[in-house]
Every structure is written in C-alpha cells, then in structure tokens.
Amino acid sequence: MNISQIAMTSPYLAIIFMAISPSLPLTSQAGELNAKQRDKAVIMQNGKTIFDMDTQLIRKSFHLDWAFEPSDIINAFERGAKKNSVYVPSELKLYASGLSSKSWIFSAGDINLKFQRLFQIIATSSLWGFNVQLNRNDLFHGHIFTFNYENATDIAILFHSKEYPNDSDLVAQNNGLGEFNNYNSSSSGYIHRNFLWLNKPRLLINFNGNHIEEHTKELFLPFGAESLPQDLMQLFLKSKTVQTERIPGFQKKLGDVNFFGDSAFTEPLLFFTYVP
C-alpha cells in the first residue's frame, strides 16, 4: 500500500505512517518530488503555454495521481449540492477563514479526505525544506476558486501557511492574532508561505517567494492596491500573501476550506464556507 492509498484510507494514519517510516518515498506513482522538467511539461505542451505561469515561480512541487471532478466542487458551492453542516467551536471562529457563512462538509466522504490530504502534504516539511505545521497559527485554510485551464473551467486552491507572524504591525492588522507566535515575516521559510493546488494538472506548487519579491510583487497585492494608503500597501507586501485574483486564468472565488489538524480544544476539524 503506498502513501496515497494510506491517506485515503485514513487521513490521520498517513501522518503517523510517514513519521515511523522515514525511508518511505513521499511520491505518488504519477511523479517524483520537485521534478521541475516534468512540472514544466504539465504547464507547457508542444511548446505552447496552456497554463500561463512563469515557471520560475515553482520553487518545489508535488504531483499526485488523483484530481477532483471540478463539477462536484463547483456544484456544492454554487448550486446547493447535498452536504452536511458542521459545528465550529467558538475558540476556532476567530481564526477560521470565511465564517461569515454557514460551515459544511461534502456528503461524499472521499472528497473531504482528499482535501485533508492536500493539507497533510503541505505540512510534510521535509518536502519543502521549511517547517509547516497544521494548526491555527500556521496552516489551516485555503481559498478555492475557478480558473481557465485548456479552455475549460477547472478549480484551484491557494493555501496560505504561516498565517499569523508576530511582527507588531501585522499583529495589529490581524486583530491581535499572532502576538505570541514564534515566527515573524523574516523567519526562515516565511517568504515561501504560499502553495497552489492546480486540479486537472494534479500539481501542488510551492511558490518561489524570492522570485515574487524580485520580479512579480503584484502577486502580493489585491487589485486596486495602487489606491490604498502607502502604509497599508507596505503591509500587503510584508505579509507576502499571494492573492487569488492574481493567479493566471483566475475566474472567480468559490469559498474557503479550513482544516484545523492540531487543536488543543477539538479533534481535527475540516469544513468549508462560501464566499460572502
């Protein structure tokens, strides 16, 4: 049984299995970790760009042997497909993304497990070269949106790790969250805090934050940022948060996925919310 099969059997067993099996290759049958030539081939076919992304933005990547059916995800967010409501404890509501709407999970359990699996891969620090943890102060959410891929609508998820650094100006911007965390915006790995799941390409990308800093800083800025006060624009740049609307081919936001995988108050909790 490979690691993908273990994860789909039990999303928590996969983490335990990896911890006790250091020699286990953390790859799927579809590819190898950080095979940049292969991943560029996913984005480029026959010399033509089919996903218009600067390949220098790919710092590291992970290729999986499965993908979501886009219509399953889109239907749930847009057209009220069957789903189950989820209770979110009050101690998590301060942190969760998108909780201005009801929280829910998919009725189809395998879809929920696949979302958890993406979080677990991102939290496997040995893959990326810096520490990422599944908790309310680091990795716990992703933004789901549609984008154009090969002239069809696909889904993508933009994950933000290192969500609450302890820089005093960012703590103030985040309503006090992060004050007692042990990392800041200058900590090792912080600049690479953004991850992107491209569904049909079956590719999980860790953005090269250094390349963004040097060449494409607009990825960190929402549309219309040029009209913002200069101090607020500098906070956007300092937080190094890639904006969903800046992803090539972006169409529209669907909602958010939250996964609190290591909570002192609850069991691991996955839920989804709509864009308000």
Neighbours of 273 (CB within 10 A): 23
Residues ≥6 apart with Cβ < 8 Å to 50: 43, 44, 149, 150
Backbone CA torsion sign across 23, 55, 68, 97: positive
**Region 168-194 average pLDDT:** 91
Which residues, in sequence order, are bridge partners of residue 250? 147
pLDDT above 70 covers a percentage of the chain that reads: 78
Burial degree of 41 (CB within 10 A; 0-12, 13-18, 19+): exposed
Q: Does the structure show a pLDDT above 60 at 33?
A: no
The whole-number pLDDT of residue 130 equals: 94
In angstroms, rounded to a whole number, what is the distance separating the alpha carbons of residues 250 and 148? 7
Look at 203 and 226; give whichever has higher pLDDT.
203
Q: In the block, which residue shows the tokens 């480029």? A: 44
The whole-number pLDDT of residue 14 equals: 34
The whole-number pLDDT of residue 241 equals: 95
**Region 224-234 average pLDDT:** 87
Look at 175 and 71; give whichever has higher pLDDT.
71
Q: Does the structure show a pLDDT above 80 at 53?
A: no
In angstroms, rounded to a whole number, what is the distance separating the alpha carbons of residues 238 and 41? 32
What token pair was written down for 257?
Answer: 């996925």
In angstroms, rounded to a whole number, what is the distance separating the alpha carbons of residues 150 and 154? 9
User: Would you kindly state where each structural domain of the chain is located, as residue ranges?
Assistant: 32-274
Residue of 62, 75, 59, 68 whose CA lies nearest to 26: 62
In angstroms, rounded to a whole number, what is the distance separating the alpha carbons of residues 239 and 190? 9
pTM (two decimals): 0.83
In angstroms, rounded to a whole number, what is the distance separating the alpha carbons of residues 63 and 102? 32
Q: Does the structure show a pLDDT above 70 at 31?
A: no
The whole-number pLDDT of residue 56 equals: 84
Identify the top-confidence range among 1-15, 76-90, 97-111.
97-111
The whole-number pLDDT of residue 93 equals: 86
In angstroms, rounded to a whole number, what is the distance separating the alpha carbons of residues 166 and 172? 10
Mean pLDDT (the chain) is 81
Taking the C-alpha atoms of 47, 32, 187 and 158 in order, what is their torsion angle to the nearest 10 degrees?
60
